């Protein structure tokens, strides 16, 4: 049973560094896509799983085991989810070396009894490490969404993420500029707190598009931390509409690239 084949498109949501809103983007993107599609959500951050909390799954919830091997995904907000966070206590520190991390990731990916889905959204761990390489080598990846903020330090790390996916022949669907602008609740003044134009410069440098600009809003953080993301709880809000537009842009890019994706790429190393 090759579970990833149950998905038409597998999409990575990645970032070069932590703290840029990657998991929040992955959750709301999955919810936005689920309006017209069947969607699965895989939390690939073995060290710091956050999907259970963000999707409002009761602490201590464990997946049912079938055939003494396959995990039945937990359903939340109409989406099938799996995460290391469902398998361990939330206060447990994962003190594992790389081979153990790779084994755990492959087991969650391949031994989850997913129903047939249109999309599997994979919330990747930050950085450019073992899990990213393992995923790219083992399954067909339709593309990667790179999440960054307009800050120069975040853009520097986002470049590394783009370069890594290119080396393993995973298409870049586009750049998501998170925390792009903040609109004051009281006066309506809009301000780019973390700078402006960074996403556009990065996209131009690599010949890709900015496919999403997400606002810096307290509501996004509060509702996601509370397990009721804005796309599910306030779908008519401006913040939710930004995620729906992102989902539409992702779908358009998938259609543009076609269904080729990648399958078992050969990793090449050069002197750069």
Whole-number Cα distances in Å, 177 to 29, 211, 261: 14, 8, 24
pTM of the model: 0.87
272 in a structural domain: no
267 in a structural domain: no
pLDDT in tens, 20-57: 889 999 999 999 999 999 999 999 888 889 999 999 99
pLDDT in tens, 83-111: 988 987 766 666 667 678 788 888 888 89
| Phi-psi region at 227: left, alpha or beta (left = phi > 0; alpha = psi -120 to 50) | left
Region 205-222 average pLDDT: 90
In sequence order, what are the beta bridge partners of 39? 119
208 in a structural domain: yes
Query: What is d(CA 252, CA 258) in angstroms, rounded to the nearest whole number?
Result: 10
DSSP letters, 32-97, are HHTTTS-EEEEE--SSS--HHHHTTPPTT----EETTTEEPPEEETTEEEEEGGGTS-TT------
123 in a structural domain: yes
* Six-digit token string for 75: 């359903």
pLDDT in tens, 188-211: 656 665 556 778 888 999 999 999
Task: Write the CB contacts of 71 (distance below 8 Å, at least 6 apart in sequence).
Answer: 63, 64, 65, 82, 108, 111, 112, 113
264 in a structural domain: no
The CATH code of the domain that includes 42 is 3.40.50.300
Query: What is d(CA 262, CA 138) in angstroms, rounded to the nearest whole number?
Result: 9
155 in a structural domain: yes
**For residue 237, what are the domain limits?**
3-257
Of the two residues 168 and 1, the one the predictor is more confident about is 168
270 in a structural domain: no
Question: What total number of domains does the chain contain?
Answer: 1
263 in a structural domain: no
Of 116, 18, 110, 115, residue with least CA distance to 69: 110
Instruction: Give yes or no for residue 255 having a pLDDT over 50.
Output: yes
């Amino acid at each position: 049973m090759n579970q990833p084949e149950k998905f038409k498109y597998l999409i990575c949501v990645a970032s070069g560094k932590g703290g840029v809103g990657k998991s929040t983007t992955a959750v709301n993107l999955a919810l936005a896509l689920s309006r017209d599609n069947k969607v699965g959500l895989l939390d690939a951050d073995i060290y710091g799983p956050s999907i259970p909390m963000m999707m409002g799954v009761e602490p201590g919830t464990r997946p049912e085991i079938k055939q003494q091997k396959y995990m039945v995904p937990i359903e939340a907000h109409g989406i099938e989810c799996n995460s290391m966070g469902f398998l361990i206590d939330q206060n447990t520190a994962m003190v594992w070396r790389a081979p153990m991390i790779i084994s755990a990731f492959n087991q969650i990916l391949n031994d989850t009894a997913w129903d047939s889905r249109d999309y599997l959204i994979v919330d990747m761990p930050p950085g450019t490490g073992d899990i990213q390489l393992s995923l790219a080598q083992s399954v067909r990846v339709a593309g990667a969404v790179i999440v960054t903020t307009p800050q120069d330090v975040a853009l520097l790390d986002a470049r590394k993420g783009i370069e890594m996916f290119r080396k393993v022949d995973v298409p870049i669907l586009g750049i998501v500029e998170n925390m792009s602008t903040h609109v004051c609740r009281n006066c309506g003044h809009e301000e780019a707190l973390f700078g402006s134009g960074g996403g556009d410069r990065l996209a131009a440098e690599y010949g890709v598009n900015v496919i999403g600009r997400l606002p810096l809003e307290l509501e996004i953080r509060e509702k996601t931390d509370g397990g009721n993301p804005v796309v599910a709880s306030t779908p008519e809000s401006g913040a939710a509409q930004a995620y729906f537009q992102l989902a539409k842009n992702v779908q358009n890019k998938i259609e543009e690239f076609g269904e080729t994706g990648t399958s078992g790429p050969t990793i090449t190393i050069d002197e750069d």
